[in-house]
Structure 1
């Protein structure tokens, strides 16, 4: 590509300013020269125009003069011509025509005929004359002598003018005493003009007639035109010659001017080219020319520095080669679109790969280069600006902003900046405002919808303002107060911030963060509540109870009664049904006891299943009524319970301090002892009722029946007799047979009554019933001796049983006996999932599993007694 075909736009302030100053100076000089040339040219043009106007005026005057002169010459010529004709006419013929006008023989006179022939010859020679007439002034007749177009017979001479040449008015107007030209006139034959020549009487020289010579106007005008046209042509030719010389002079002058301009332009182009290539080489942005997908040889120094490659390396290299792979697709799309349209410009931020593998961010602008007489675009201008530092700074700024936004977005509240005024006029509010207050951030900006102060609970506003007013310079502040949210709920917030002071240490703004402190406040209240209250029942706890005793142990509260209550059978219920069922009983008992409280009474949970009352100003009689009210409330509660297992049973004891000299601790001990004595008295019957309830529930929930328990008891007793067991073991064996599956009371009904096989989860739950039964038995002293048997009744002789994997004689004997009896009874009776098996099959199965599942000695004894049942 030639350098003079390269056009570059460089965007740089300093360089552009220098170029502009240089251009301005040259433009100013050029404009001054052009103004002078224009002034000269304008003066010259005016001079030429005036010269031509003057020449035209002179020509017009000459032509006008010539025209008038031609008219006079023509008039003189035709007049002389007519006079010559008149002189040649014999006067005798005229005299005869006039004085003997009725004699038509004269027309046959030789002399007349000769005259006519002469006139005819004259007409043939001179085509200017149309005809001749003789006007008889005496007789007022007109005689046609000869016409160039017609011949007339004698009858035509009747004194009428067939050409209607003159009427009476014309005769009166014309002076026939001298030669005259008549006015132009028109008849049916055309436009005419006449020459009248007087004819005198030879005797007395009197004018007796007039010769009328008729000329066509067109001939007349033609003669005048011929004379004028020659002069006009001369003047036109002269003007044209002058104009031609003038044009030649102008062209010559123009050529000289254009030559000088061309020389100036050539010199200016050289300067511009020098300036252009200086700018090109020193431009602070990279400039290169692309030939389709290749770099061309026109590449400046900055482009080489940006890409890290020399002009020689870049020449012929495809620009895709140095484009970062992540930016290649968008670069190709934009470039192909530009090539397709052959118009427009596109800019793109992308990365170039340097030879060392590092990437540099650049802004690339691509524009097509259009050349004259070539519609196809194969070259493109490529402007490249190094924006790596800017991108890195923008990235750092973006990351900083992102981090700030993340921090602000994840703050447990809202960040703000507000004016120092009572409205807390917000200037900035973070997005956390919405979740904190229910209002959008823009609602508070410049108090658009409401001021932040409007949502602060009224009781806090003044105290906060006073604290802000007294805020020391550059000190932080924090306040806890409540706000009213958009949903009209009160919410605790914690505000932490710092004042913004001007140079005069005047507080002008506040910046800080308002944090949602509501949950923490609630937790604090909850903690405070939990310090004095029981977490399960919501009643006061032992700590508060003891503090309340100290506060109420005053003379004014005497008599002061202490009431201690205890729920019977909670441990048994916990072991049988889990702690959730026991907790439910404790909470229901707490609610019942609280419903019995009077105003001023204190009720607390002292621990586990024990509660305590402090009854100020209550004597024994009132205390007795109070206790009876509790017992009555329990009875009412139990009426609604279908299962005795879940009835409420409470042991109550109380004691009253009536004298200030009595120790309150002794009163408390007396009440506790009273309650425990009553609990011991009722323990056996209560436990028996609970166990009976558990058994009834178990029989109801599972396929185990009371008959099954009795059958097992009978089989176990027979085996025990054969094994010579003592009376204690026989009693325990009988009770064990009845209660061995007591743990199933806590198993879900859907598992117990499932007709098919258990899945893994269900089997794990089912295998837990020995441990549940063990805990139930351990909680009741009456059946505690058989707890170990209940725990191990699913152990196997070979150690593959559960829950502890015991083997051989590690398993208690009573558990080994029950294992054989239970298996036999299970096989010989119907189950949900199968029918009963035959006696022989059951005995065979037991014998088969002797030494693996069962104790061989027990199996041997079982075979001896089985047929005696």
Structure 2
């Protein structure tokens, strides 16, 4: 016999097959003699009595087993070759079919079509693969009224009337399934909401293990929801080896209140954490919901803002706001008397910005800041308090020390200029010391500022001249067309001016203009000035800025201010197509019209980075062709006469012709 023998039914069946009348119809005599027959008779009598006792016990157990099976809340079926051989009342109630009608029908008639194969597979595994018992698998049944019932089934292989049969225990789990589906729906909705936010959301138990988490938390942990389950929260998110310091989850669990804090990851990230305790119906805390937000960028931004509120972004020194706060702080402190205030102003910044661009001006400001920082002590508070102005608070410095500090600043400037003669550095300094202990530092600051401005006024003209001389030296170094370009222009221009009867003053301006008209080109990048090939439109746009730049530089120098307007207009054309103002005809100063012809001729007859020089005859022809377009026709006539051998008297005097 295979498998389990269903003992109660089998044994009851066997007992029922005994003819009970036998016990009552046969009389067993009693023998007083103690011979063999007497002993046998007594043994038979005892046997029959025990048999009767067994029968009563079996009948009693049968009633008990029958009561249990018939009153079981589980639906119980016995099938043999797919046919129902037994069904208890719970089975009848489950399917809505009378018990008698179920017998001899196939259980598969009631199995939902989509689950039939799954159910068959379990039966095959039970019968053919020797599993004997299969526990807890779910499938659906169709009741007589058409409703669908979810059941959880267990199968046992038994012997039924000498043949294999399958005993089914089926629990109606329809309500549970409905609740599970509703729970899953709510869970999906919750996940849909939680997965749509940037914060990390974790459900954590009292042992700091993750129960579930949203999509963002799983992404950060690098695991799926299934993989993250049961992991220690501090191992998966901050990726640490122990509970985070000031852990808000622990605080929320122990205090039963919402807790917040910041968590630092091993990879340098910073998280804002908020934990809310989760309580059961009795108020006991079972865990916490933790919400984490990556605030690394925010923290860095706050640090930058904090730094910006204290420091100057260009030089890295303290800014004016911090300097004023430091003055207020020191004013309230005792034992810092005397204290000195140093004010330093970098001279010529405007001229450098106008001539060489703000990037060069910024570079010089950094140099100035580094120089002052190198002179002062680390305990001194040095700040940039304006565009070209610096200030320092010097605690514990008396008048004697103050003057030595000023001298050290000037010595440092001299050392710098010895090594960097191209653009000299000039600083005006004023320093003042508290005269009495209760003197406000604001008053000391004003005295130092006044002294600085007095110093600046004394050297203002000189410092500007230094800058201009440096720029002229740079222009001479570049002499970018060919050696002697400025000298040749001067000769051409002076000779034409003389032929045209210009005044001595105009000829002097013309001579100086010939030398410095390209002053603005010192700020044009070398890669444009010396480019081997035609300039692009963008490069031409940069090149066309040099008259304006040169004019600004000239205005800052007493020696060049008189020709600043000529420098501005030296690229205007007779036909009005020049730059930067687009002037036309005699609106262009005569000096600029003369220079335009001489400059063009010299450019054509000398090598350029992008072409070879023309022959003199070709250049003169080109000059003549441009008369009335690029050049003043009368200036061209004067210029051509210088190469034709004509006597000066044959040249039409410009002023006379205009008068006619």
TM-score w.r.t. length of structure 1: 0.49
Task: Report the Cα distance in structure 2 between the residues aligned to 1:856 and 1:509, rounded to whole angstroms.
Answer: 97
Distance, in Å, in 1 between the alignment partners of 2:397 and 2:352 is: 34
User: Structure 1: any 5+ residue segments left out of the alignment?
Assistant: 1-12, 29-275, 286-392
Counterparts of 1:663 and 1:743 in 2: how far apart (Å)?
47
Equivalent-residue separation in structure 2 for 1:608 and 1:469 (angstroms): 57
**Contact 1:713 1:737 (8 Å CA) reproduced:** yes
Mapped partners of 1:695, 1:724: distance in 2: 29
Secondary structure, counterpart of 2:422 in structure 1: helix
2:204 counterpart residue number: 418
Residue equivalent to 1:428: 212
Cα pair distance change 1:453/1:527, threshold 3 Å = closer
Question: Are positions 1:748 and 2:525 aligned together?
Answer: yes
Counterpart-to-counterpart distance in 2, 1:586 and 1:700:
25
CA contact (8 A) 1:645 1:689 kept: no
Deviations 1:567-598 (A, max 9, x none): 22333332333222221221232122223222
Encode CA deviations 1:655-677: one digit per residue, 9 max, x unaligned: 22221465644433332233233
2:426 corresponds in structure 1 to 649
Give deviations 1:840-867, integer Å, cap 9, x for gaps: 4333322221211112343344345566
Deviation at 1:603, TM superposition (A): 0.6
Matches within 5 A, 1:665-684: 665-684=442-461
Offset, 1:563? 0.9
- 2:560 is aligned with 1:783: yes
Residue 386 of structure 2, aligned match among 587, 607, 613? 607
* Counterpart for residue 375 of structure 2: 596
Which of 696, 710, 715 is equivalent to 2:492? Answer: 715
> 1:502 aligned to 2:280?
yes
The structure whose RCO (Cα within 8 Å, separation 6+) is larger is: 2
Q: Is the 8 A contact 2:464 2:556 kept in 1?
A: no
User: 1:600, CA displacement in angstroms?
Assistant: 3.2
**Gap change, CA 1:454 and 1:864, over 3 Å in 2:** closer
1:85-484 equivalences in 2 (<5 Å): 404=193, 407-408=196-197, 411=198, 414-420=200-206, 424-430=208-214, 432-433=216-217, 445-447=230-232, 450=235, 455=240, 460-461=245-246, 465-466=250-251, 469-470=254-255, 472=257, 478-479=260-261, 481-483=262-264
3-state SS, counterpart of residue 579 of structure 2: coil
The residue aligned with 2:301 is: 523
Show structure 2 runs of 5+ residues with no match.
1-90, 115-181, 649-660
Contact 1:808–1:855, Cα closer than 8 Å, also in 2: yes
State how far apart, in whole Å, the 2-side matches of 1:406 and 1:809 are: 77
Secondary structure, counterpart of 2:324 in structure 1: helix
| Aligned partners of 2:252 and 2:275 also within 8 Å | no
For residues 776 and 14 of structure 1, the distance between their equivalents in structure 2, rounded to whole angstroms, comes to 110
1:560/1:618 contact within 8 Å kept: yes
Matched, 1:828 2:605: yes
**How much has 1:823 moved relative to structure 2?**
0.9
> Shift of the alpha carbon at 1:622?
0.3
Secondary structure of the residue that 1:805 maps to in structure 2?
coil
Return the alpha-carbon distance in structure 2 between the equivalents of residues 429 and 724 of structure 1: 95
Match status 1:817 vs 2:594: yes
Is 1:769 equivalent to 2:546 in the alignment?
yes
- Spell out the pairing of 1:624-663 with structure 2 (5 A cutoff): 624-641=403-420, 644-660=421-437, 662=439
Q: Retained in 2: the 8 A contact 1:829–1:835? A: yes
| SS at 2:288 equivalent | strand
What do residues 382-408 of structure 1 show as CA deviations (whole Å, max 9, x unaligned)?
A: xxxxxxxxxxx9xx9999699658635
In structure 2, distance between residues paired with 1:654 and 1:446: 66
Q: 1:684: Cα distance to partner?
A: 3.6
CA apart distance, 1:750: 2.6
- What RMSD, in angstroms, separates the aligned Cα atoms of the two structures? 4.3
- 1:525-561 deviation line (CA, Å, top 9, x unaligned): 2212222221111211112222222222366322221
Aligned match of 2:397: 618
Q: 1:688 aligns with which of 450, 465, 470?
A: 465
Assess, with a 3 A threshold, how the Cα gap between structure 1 residues 439 and 529 changes in structure 2: closer, same or farther.
Answer: farther
SS in 2 for 1:461: coil
Partner residue of 2:118?
none
SS of equivalent to 1:557: coil
1:560–1:614 Cα contact (<8 Å) kept: yes
Is 1:486 the counterpart of 2:486? The answer is no
State the partner residue of 1:558. Answer: 337
What SS is found at the alignment partner of 1:645? coil
In structure 2, what is the Cα distance between the partners aligned to 1:397 and 1:443?
21
| Residue 142 of structure 2: aligned partner | none
Which of 578, 581, 590 is matched with 2:360 structurally? Answer: 581
Name the SS for the 1:587 alignment partner: helix
Greater C-alpha radius of gyration? 1
SS of the residue 1:563 aligns to? strand
Q: How far, CA to CA, are the matches of 2:355 and 2:335 in structure 1?
A: 47
- Classify 1:758/1:426 alpha carbon distance in 2 versus 1 (closer, same or farther; 3 Å): same
Deviation string for 1:632-668 (max 9, x for gaps)? 3334444443xx2244332222122221465644433
Q: Is the 8 A contact 2:205 2:287 kept in 1?
A: yes
Q: Equivalent residues in 2 for 1:530-545 (5 A)? A: 530-545=308-323
CA-to-aligned-CA distance 1:462-500 (integer Å, 9 cap, x gap): 78744664455xxx6543x241x334x4x4321245333
Residue of structure 2 equivalent to 1:738? 515
Q: In structure 2, how many angstroms separate the alpha carbons of the residues matched to 1:634 and 1:730? A: 40
Match of 1:546 among 324, 341, 353: 324
Contact (CA 8 Å) 1:565, 1:651: kept in 2 or not?
yes
In 1, the alpha carbon distance for the partners of 2:105 and 2:247 equals: 73
Change over 3 Å in CA distance of 1:425–1:529 after alignment to 2: same
Q: Which of 746, 760, 763 is the matching residue for 2:537?
A: 760
Q: CA separation in 1, counterparts of 2:376 and 2:203? A: 54
- Counterpart CA distance in 1 for 2:558 and 2:189 is 72
Q: Cα–Cα, structure 1 residues 742 and 431, in superposed 2: closer, same or farther, change >3 Å?
A: farther
Aligned to 1:229: none
Do the aligned residues in 2 keep the contact of 1:453 with 1:461 (CA within 8 Å)? no
* Residues 20, 671 of structure 1: alpha-carbon distance in 2 compared, 3 angstrom cutoff: same
Q: Counterpart of 1:556 in 2: which secondary structure? A: coil
SS of residue matched to 1:819? helix
Cα offset, 1:455, TM superposition? 4.3
8 Å CA contact 2:338–2:437 kept in 1: the answer is no
Whole-angstrom distance in 2 between the partners of 1:757 and 1:453: 60
1:843 equivalent in structure 2: 620
